[in-house]
Copies of this chain bind each other. A is one copy, B any other.
Amino acid sequence: MKILVINSNLEQKYFDLIKKAAEVYKAEAVFYKSEKEVPETDYDADIIYGFAPSISKVSRKLKWLCVPWAGVDSLMVPGYFANEECLVTNSAGAYGVSIAEHMIAAALVMFRRLDEFFEETRNGKWLFPREQKSLKNCRVTVLGTGDIGTSFAKRLRGFEPASITGVCRSGKNSSGFFDKVYPVTALNEVLPETELLAMCLPGTQETAGILSEERIKLLPRGAYVINVGRGSAIDEDALAENLLSGHLAGAALDVFAKEPLPKESPLWKIKNLLITPHVAGNMTVEYTKDRNVEMFLEDLDNYFKGKPLKYLVDKKLGY
């Protein structure tokens, strides 16, 4: 039994952990920084923990692919796996901490106009204070109440917002960090009461274009939008228009319909739009790495014991 680990962010100590776990079950674990480094002699692996589109496309031996991040939409296409029975797990749950920190930071930077102040002071300018907004008493809606949305709501609590409203497919309030959770069918009723809309949805057919032009208009004038889920969830043209017109006070996008954001995109030049290059959940944060490997090892144990995998992706739902 062969396990391929393909990851450029993990240090030796993580490889040691995985090797040790594999040995218990007499499996061999081999490590590479990227798929390009993997020799064809290792294409026969049973398990891959990493990003390996070329191998999964040709290997009929691959039984389980563990993706070290959360969003698996790019894998849910015909032909991605030579072995259609290949199990897929993801690492949703490892990124909530990091992405939630990004979301709080993005909200505060917009509300407090810190990007303006930083740009001014970088250029030697000490300019007058201007209007700021607070998370205290703010009405926040979180679209997507999984690991990321819940981690965000948990951190947001201490800022004493007026309300934290969750919106998700089921409408179930499972975490206790939301004041109320509505099903996505009630989204149109929630938007007019929203000062800050924080979006952290997986990329699925149901979420594509969910923040349409019509729904952006349902947000009150002066609302803010954050997106850390998938760019496909937002009508980017309508967002741009409503940022330029001032209907929206600001937006912070970490994800885009097309990434990297194309050179010719009009989004680059919008002053009240904060752009980050899909870094909210990058894997350098210590906790993210720890949790990521921990989750893989948990399922490795399940795999060898013939138990169901805990972090299995529902291929129909796409997350």
Contact = CB atoms under 8 A, between A and B. Distances in A.
A260 interface: yes
A132 B105 CA distance: 13
A104 B98 contact: no
Interface stretch (A10-18, A28-36, A114-122, A141-149): A114-122
Nearest to A153: B158
Contacts of A119: 118-119, 122
Nearest to A269: B124
Given A101-B112, A119-B122, A159-B101, A136 B276 contact: no
Kindly report how many copies of this chain are found in the complex they form together.
Answer: 2
23 contacts: A97-B134, A97-B160, A101-B111, A101-B112, A101-B134, A101-B136, A104-B104, A105-B108, A105-B112, A109-B118, A117-B276, A118-B118, A118-B275, A121-B277, A124-B263, A126-B259, A129-B277, A132-B279, A132-B285, A133-B285, A134-B286, A136-B285, A155-B159
A305 interface: no
Contacts of A137: 286-287
Given A115-B118, A159-B155, A129 B282 contact: yes
Nearest to A263: B124
Interface string A268-289: 1000001111110010111110
A127 interface: yes
A154 interface: yes
A139 interface: no
The 10 residue pairs across chains A and B that have the minimum distance between CB atoms: A105-B108, A129-B282, A121-B275, A126-B260, A155-B158, A158-B158, A126-B277, A134-B285, A129-B279, A117-B276
Contacts of A114: 102, 105-106, 109, 276
